[in-house]
Structure 1
Amino acid sequence: MTEAVLRPHAEHQFADELALLAERDDRPRPPGWRLSPWAVTVYLLGGTLPDGTVVTPKYVGPRRLIEVAVATLATDRALLLLGVPGTAKTWVSEHLAAAVSGDSTLLVQGTAGTAEDTIRYGWNYARLLAEGPSEQALVPSPVMRAMRSGAVARIEELTRMPSDVQDSLITILSEKALPVPELGTEVQARKGFTVIATANDRDRGVNDLSSALRRRFNTIVLPLPATTEEEVDIVARRVAQIGTSLELPETVAGIEEIRRVVTVFRELRSGRTADGRTRLKSPTGTLSTAEAISVITSGRVLATHFGDGVLRPADVAGGIVGAVVQDPVSDRVVWQEYLETVVRERPEWSDFYRACREVL
């Protein structure tokens, strides 16, 4: 069944690695955890076990950040992953939940329209009207289910939720209990329960967390990849994983186009060329690692179905223009200046320059 799913959950996609780590893991495990903090870190960052088994990395970034995140989950505080779009906040959240509790599906998606019952609980109104308030009429939220089972609850885009909905978490995080006054009872969290929330750094000022709620979280800021090679490695890994899921054949010479796309995005978002000699205007879009992955994946599909299977500049040019030119007026000017002052001056990028000019 899992093989037919377009994107399996982390605990299913990497079930073999998780099972192997659990079998080899002889270190202390916090109550309710499937793995020790050491094994959770190995699962996320990759490594070689004492018997020579290689665990693939799920996240490429500073080791200390992941160690602090994992250590936070072993305390009584919740974890807030903060960063600009495309810094793998959701990805890290999913894999942490899969490694700690074996279930990454207890998820609340935050939006401006998220209601309080999405965090707390709701009711089956047909049964409520017929029977009155009862356990059978109650519809538990993912957070309540996580409390009952001692698992990790995930909350995406916390700062997009209205402030009063955010604050419904305060009692849950401080008292580890969720009152149900209609039934005259409460749900007390079992050992292993915790919350991992994510927030977009660019959403500051939309629905800022109250000081009371912020104190319940330990905040980890996930950075953009530090170097070009690190980002190329991340993009190559994710593109390969997505290609396998889509059952795409191997594409020839993809790594050079990945490096070129990553270089373009890094230069435009930093506002200067890689050598530091030329200052650039930055577009309005994020141009994150996630966008680079999307551009290369789309290019692979074009090369497979409309080309000769070799990833070429023409296959990625349209995706790059679409990612850069979010505002048809200001971003178009930024992109044209970059093409003429940077790309055109690089002889080894002449084919890329021509391809981009054709789709502009």
Structure 2
Amino acid sequence: MTVSESSASTGAEVLRPHAEDAFAEELKALAAADDRPRPTGWRLSPWAVATYLLGGALPDGTVITPKYVGPRRIVEVAVTTLATDRALLLLGVPGTAKTWVSEHLAAAVSGDSTLLVQGTAGTPEEAIRYGWDYARLLAHGPSRDALVPGPVMRAMADGMTARVEELTRIPADVQDTLITILSEKTLPIPELGQEVQAVRGFNLIATANDRDRGVNDLSSALRRRFNTVVLPLPATPDDEVDIVSRRVDQIGRSLDLPAAPEGLEEIRRVVTVFRELRDGVSADGRTKLKTPSGTLSTAEAISVVTGGLALAAHFGDGVLRSADVAAGILGAVVRDPAADRVVWQEYLETVVRERAGWQDFYRACREVSV
């Protein structure tokens, strides 16, 4: 019995359900309404997968909530790539929803987003290929019973979608394990003189962020096996506010926190601060700003607002206010205590202090910045 199965059997509420569980009703409704051709092994057609990510309304009135707010063409290219024999690489700066999009693509295409390899500096080759049950290996020698398939091998055998997160964090020699898998669609098992050939429906989604360039760059041989789709930062402040509000609302419901719309003004302020410091210029274009060392991504804005909601719920009146988000913003901006604190203080004094209607925000940020 797996951990998730154990939680389900005991009636325990899972803190963060997998995408295919959290949005099971939407996926079921899409499958019922989907009359378009589906690639072999897919649960939905490419059109339905795109609708699942971008949102829409079905003929029966079912509303599909947007999972990704951004250019439609980006999603269409990503989905189309998975319908070919090329793997998909989602590339972008930290916080551009690469992991989120990867998970929802796998959930919509295969109905299972859990075939995941989490890339780190210590990820071994076995995590991508296979390992061994050493008790059986020592007792009976190499055999298929002693072999423990990794997520990619399982996806190949079952015609599913595998995921590799933070590909450029993985050592280069381990990355190159994927070359044969992606080019020949086979995974050799030399210890047994066998191989696992990919079943139709198999594909792989990898993610990597721009800040990791130079850590473990992809070899040209491996990069050629991927179709790269770059996920941009939200194009407009309204888009970013919408993304933050939606995600905070989803997270907040799972944690029994107040509804995000109660603090929409503070969400907009957080997004404005992050965008101005990220872009190095105030929203009106009049003031040039120094940029801090951190990324100030949308994901970090979501974290700041969620933390603020928790403060409001447990130590306030349940309404998100400036004092609830000030400490979170400070922590996100000031990563380098020496350089970033100067950036933050200059921003407060030259932009925030002079902005109409922001005096409560200015005072809250000054209090936590002392």
TM score, norm. by length of structure 2? 0.96
Contact 1:157 1:198 in 2 (8 A): yes
Once the two structures are TM-superposed, the CA of residue 3 in structure 1 deviates from its matched residue by 6.7
Match of 1:167 among 154, 169, 176: 176
Following the alignment from structure 1 to structure 2, what is the Cα–Cα distance between the partners of residues 84 and 76?
A: 26
Match of 2:116 in 1: 107
Match of 2:341, SS? helix
For 1:36, the equivalent position in structure 2 comes to 45
**Which residue of 2 is the match for residue 201 of structure 1?**
210
Moved over 6 A (4+): none
Aligned position for 1:308? 317
Give the CA deviation at 1:253.
3.1
1:132 is the counterpart of 2:135? no
Question: How far has the Cα of 1:200 moved from its partner?
Answer: 1.0
| CA deviation after TM superposition for structure 1 residue 309, in Å | 1.2
Residues 1:280 and 2:274 aligned together: no
Q: Which amino acid aligns with 1:119?
A: I
* Other-structure match for 2:163: 154
Pair 1:16 & 2:25 matched: yes
CA contact (8 A) 2:333 2:340 kept: yes
Q: d(CA) in 2 for partners of 1:148 and 1:244?
A: 37
In structure 2, the partner of 1:340 is: 349
Structure 1 residues 48-70: Cα deviation after superposition (integer angstroms, max 9, x where no partner): 12233211000000000000000
Aligned 1:1-360 pairs, distance under 5 A:
1=8, 4-250=13-259, 253-360=262-369
| Matched letter for residue 342 of structure 1 | V
Query: Percentage identity across aligned positions?
Result: 79
CA distance in 2, matches of 1:71, 1:278: 43
Distance in 2 (CA, whole Å) between partners of 1:117 and 1:55 is 38
SS in structure 1 at match of 2:67: coil
Once the two structures are TM-superposed, the CA of residue 252 in structure 1 deviates from its matched residue by 6.7
CA 1:154 to 1:251, structure 2 compared with 1: closer, same or farther past 3 Å?
closer
Q: Any idea what SS the aligned residue of 1:274 has?
A: coil
| 3-state SS, counterpart of residue 239 of structure 2 | helix
**Which ranges of structure 2 fall in alignment gaps of 5 or more residues?**
1-7
The answer to whether the 8 A contact 2:330-2:365 is kept is yes
CA RMSD in angstroms, aligned pairs only = 1.0
Cα distance in 1 for partners of 2:258, 2:328 equals 20
* TM-score, structure 1 normalization: 0.99
Can you give the 5+ residue segments of structure 1 that lack an aligned partner in the other structure? none
**Cα offset, 1:168, TM superposition:** 0.5
Structure 2 residue matching 1:87: 3-state secondary structure: coil
What is the deviation of 1:251? Answer: 5.8
